[in-house]
Chains A and B, each alone.
Chain A
């Protein structure tokens, strides 16, 4: 009785084809079918933001999309940002400004900020705080994240 579809999508630059049960949300698909466990699930009702990814260039909650809806989409997850030995400027700034503790909300924070900084190269503190207001962090009190985003924005401007 399970309703399945075959989907093809681009994830982190790589074409992937898979059969999915249609009721499976995109976050579960990324985590379970593709093994991309960097995307985390914190509430599965669209509030905490831990599952935030970039879909066709825009930040979105992967728990609020069915995997089947991502057929044909271009998806970016935290795994696309950098490597352990080659962190992206945003990731590096996160470490230097202690913008993460347990790391669970971090992937969603990074993807929200990645999308935000692409569109907003000159953000101020208020704009950054608003950009991450859809991502809950229980550990840091947010201040380190804001500092990291400011520094990363400056670095991106310099590099551009």
Chain B
């Protein structure tokens, strides 16, 4: 049973500065924790919710951060700080939805350290950045002693606080495929207080045809189920339709049908209700952006 504490249990600290060293440590050591920005792991260490024998700090690793634009995608190093994403002109141009989401990720004092890779490996159900990875069908580049592999977003999420990362692997980067020019987004979440983990949120992307009907859609709900939930059936149904009041209403109704978690503070019913409202708001925002662009 966990006892009251806010000082970490003893561990051995490692700060590898090369892939070889990192992979060697991952291959060799048992009961390890990877330390990225520390905004989730450090509280858990302080409260002794986790007590690893070894902490492997990724902050000295070369080449694990940065934003690179490819032709049709953007690659973000796992150790890229949330603050750097927030301030990046590239992100602003190519992934403006991420800026909108980052405004809700903790506070500027935690975004200064927190990383996208850390968020995507910790996988709090309400975390915004993993939800965006799901929304974009991002690809997770992973390395380990046995080489590198790529994990599709739909395989990355393995349940509550559980990613597809193996014990001896590290997340290197996230490859986000870009949507065509003219695509618009909507993002909405509800939390009791600024910076809190959302009770529910939704993000949506739409690519448009010349006649203002939907060419492609992606809608994700977060905070409601253990993993981000893509509304894939709805996304298919929306293709060829206009994003009008009726379509938005249909979408909100679909959102309210997803499985939802209950906890001592918030019921599943309420989360479902919010899921519908957040989808409605995200879709409305996406439609408005499309209208303004037209």
Question: A and B touching (C-beta < 8 Å)?
Answer: yes
Q: Once the chains bind, are B13 and A3 in contact (CB under 8 Å)?
A: yes
The one of B13, B38, B46, B108 in contact with A59, judged by C-beta atoms closer than 8 angstroms, is: B108
Contact pick for A134, options B10, B12, B195, CB 8 Å: B195
Q: In the complex, what distance in Å separates the CA atom of A107 from the CA atom of B43?
A: 21
Report yes or no: A133 in contact with B107, Cβ–Cβ below 8 A. Answer: yes
Q: Once the chains are docked, how many angstroms separate the CA of A138 from the CA of B11?
A: 35
Kindly name the residue among B47, B57, B59, B109 whose own CB sees the greatest number of chain A CB atoms within 10 A. Answer: B109
Q: Are A133 and B194 in contact (CB under 8 A)?
A: yes
Q: How far is the CA of A98 from the CA of B136 in the complex (A)?
A: 48
Q: Given A3-B10, A3-B11, A64-B110: A46 and B195 within 8 A (CB)?
A: no
A133, B194: Cα distance in complex, Å: 7
Known: A45-B6, A46-B110, A131-B108. A64 touches B193 (CB 8 A): no
Contact partners of B6 in chain A: CB under 8 A? 41, 43-45, 63
With the chains together, A135 CA to B107 CA distance in Å?
9
- CB pair B195–A63 under 8 Å, yes or no, is no
Chain A residues, Cβ within 8 Å of B205 = none
Q: Categorize the interface residue count of chain A.
A: 20 to 34
A25 to B55, alpha carbons, bound, how many Å?
Answer: 13
Query: Which of A86-118 touch B at CB < 8 Å?
Result: 112, 115-116
Set of chain B residues within 8 Å of A58, measured between Cβ atoms? 83, 112
B109 pairs with A65, CB closer than 8 A: no
Q: Which residue of chain A lies nearest to B44 when distances are taken between CB atoms in the complex?
A: A45
With contacts A3-B13, A23-B10 taken as known, whether A116 is within 8 angstroms of B108 at the C-beta atoms is yes
Contacts of B110 in A (CB 8 A): 46, 60-61, 64, 134
Q: How far is the CA of A116 from the CA of B83 in the complex (A)?
A: 13
A109-151 to B contact mask, C-beta < 8 Å, 1/0: 0001001100000000000001101110000000000000000
Pick the residue among B42, B59, B194, B195 that contacts A25 (CB under 8 A): B42
- Interchain CB contact under 8 A, B57 and A69: yes
Cα A135 to Cα B108 with chains together (Å): 11
Please tell me if the beta carbons of B193 and A133 are within 8 angstroms of each other in the complex.
yes
Is A22 at the interface (CB under 8 A from chain B)?
Answer: yes
Complex Cα distance, B112 from A115, in Å, reads 11
Write the nearest CB–CB distance from A84 to chain B, whole angstroms. Answer: 26
A60:B193 contact, CB within 8 angstroms: no
Decide yes or no whether B113 CB sits under 8 A from chain A.
yes
B113 CB to nearest chain A CB (Å): 5
Choose among B7, B45, B46, B107 the residue with the greatest number of A CB atoms under 10 Å from its CB. B107
Question: A43-70: which residues lie under 8 A (CB-CB) from chain B?
Answer: 43-46, 49, 52, 55, 58-61, 63-66, 68-69
Q: Which of A55, A116, A133 is in CB contact (< 8 Å) with B195?
A: A133
Q: Are B13 and A66 in touch, CB under 8 angstroms?
A: yes
**In residues 35-63 of chain B, which contact A (Cβ within 8 Å)?**
35, 38-39, 42-43, 45-47, 55, 57, 59
Q: Which of A5, A130, A135 contacts B13 (CB 8 A)?
A: A5
Asked whether, in the complex, the Cβ of A46 is within 8 Å of the Cβ of B39, the reply is yes
Q: How far is the CA of A37 from the CA of B57 in the complex (A)?
A: 27
Residues of chain B with a CB closer than 8 A to A159's CB: none
Cβ contacts under 8 Å, A68 to chain B: 13, 15, 57
The answer, yes or no, to whether B145 is at the interface (CB within 8 Å) is: no
- Tell me whether B109 and A22 are in contact (CB under 8 A): no
Q: Which residue of B lies closest to A22 (CB)?
A: B13
Any B CB within 8 A of the CB of A1: yes
The listed residue (A64, A112, A133, A135) touching B38 by CB distance below 8 A is: A64
Task: Name 17 interchain pairs, CB-CB below 8 A, sorted by A.
Answer: A2-B10, A5-B13, A22-B13, A25-B8, A28-B7, A44-B47, A45-B6, A59-B108, A59-B109, A60-B110, A61-B109, A64-B39, A64-B42, A66-B57, A68-B13, A68-B57, A134-B108
